[in-house]
């Protein structure tokens, strides 16, 4: 008697539970679907940014390479980190000067009817550290989405005499050695041909530390790295 009552209330509870789930679920799925759709569009725009920029560099005979969080995304799964809205690359200063002279504000028509604007920041040649805006030296801008590739130039440092002759830096103070950059390695990113620095592993280690390199997504609230699929999953809230 007691047992059957217990079973009945357990069944009721289970039923109750079953009622709660379908009511809560549709709403959450919708939010997640919208977020996924938004991310898909963003991803699409980002991978077209990579494709169009790579093609243009090749045409203009400019070397450029992935850096910072874009290099980290490449390290994980050869894709942009899903929470990123900007791609980060570097070029050598003479190449940026060439772009500034010849292609500032040029609109490039690229595949799938997309237009990209190359903007060169007038501060790009100001190495006095008086520009504290943190703005990139140049940007490759998707004119539809507004998303961009941030381009930073590196140049040899004119420091003290005993300074390592391989030492280079960005206008914002980021330091790198030419031996870490060249010879550039050819690889793929978002499915398109790109270049990365020669000592990418060392650069990633210096910038992010081993914990981040070997444990993708540590510190990210929204995504979980799926080791089997080698992709990022949106965590359900």
Ligand X SMILES: *[C@@H]1O[C@H](CO)[C@@H](O)[C@H](O)[C@H]1NC(C)=O
Q: Any contact of residue 203 with ligand X (CB under 6 A)?
A: no
**Contact partners, residue 176, CB within 8 Å, separation at least 6:** 90, 154, 168, 169, 170, 197, 203
Which of these ranges, 29-37, 100-108, 161-169, 192-200, lies near ligand X under the rule CB under 6 A? 100-108
**Candidate list 124, 140, 189, 200; residue touching ligand X; CB under 6 A:** 124
Which of these ranges, 36-44, 88-96, 98-106, 157-165, lies near ligand X under the rule CB under 6 A? 98-106
Which of these ranges, 52-60, 116-124, 156-164, 201-209, lies near ligand X under the rule CB under 6 A? 116-124
Q: Contact 63/184 with Cβ under 8 angstroms?
A: yes
Q: Any contact of residue 116 with ligand X (CB under 6 A)?
A: no
Closest approach of ligand X to the CB of residue 135, in Å? 12
- In the chain, DSSP assigns E strands to 64-66, 86-92, 106-110, 114-120, 138-142, 148-156, 167-169, 175-177, 185-189, 192-196, 223-226, 231-234
Closest approach of ligand X to the CB of residue 145, in Å? 21
**Contact partners, residue 46, CB within 8 Å, separation at least 6:** 80, 84, 85, 87, 147, 190
Q: Any contact of residue 120 with ligand X (CB under 6 A)?
A: yes
- Placement of tokens 């809560």 in the chain: 24
Closest approach of ligand X to the CB of residue 118, in Å? 9
Residues in contact with ligand X by the rule CB under 6 A:
100, 104-105, 120, 122, 124
């Amino acid at each position: 008697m007691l047992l059957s009552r217990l079973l009945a209330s357990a069944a009721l509870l289970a039923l109750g539970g079953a009622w709660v789930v379908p009511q809560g679920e549709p709403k959450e799925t919708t939010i997640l679907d919208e977020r996924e759709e938004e991310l898909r569009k963003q991803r699409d725009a980002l991978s077209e940014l990579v494709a169009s920029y790579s093609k243009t560099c090749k045409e203009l005979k400019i070397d450029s390479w992935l850096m910072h969080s874009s290099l980290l995304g490449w390290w994980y799964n050869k894709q942009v980190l899903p929470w990123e809205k900007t791609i980060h690359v570097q070029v050598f200063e003479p190449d940026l000067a060439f772009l500034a002279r010849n292609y500032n504000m040029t609109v490039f028509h690229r595949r799938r009817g997309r237009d990209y604007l190359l903007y060169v920041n007038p501060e790009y040649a100001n190495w006095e550290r008086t520009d504290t805006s943190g703005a990139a030296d140049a940007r490759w801008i998707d004119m539809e989405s507004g998303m961009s590739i941030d381009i930073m130039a590196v140049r040899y440092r004119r420091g003290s005499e005993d300074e390592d002759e391989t030492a280079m830096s960005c206008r914002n103070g980021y330091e790198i050695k030419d031996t870490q950059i060249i010879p550039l390695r050819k690889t793929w990113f978002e499915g398109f041909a790109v270049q990365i620095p020669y000592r990418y592993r060392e650069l990633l280690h210096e910038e992010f530390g081993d914990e981040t390199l070997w444990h993708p997504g540590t510190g990210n609230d929204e995504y979980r790295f799926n080791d089997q699929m080698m992709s990022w999953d949106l965590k359900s809230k």
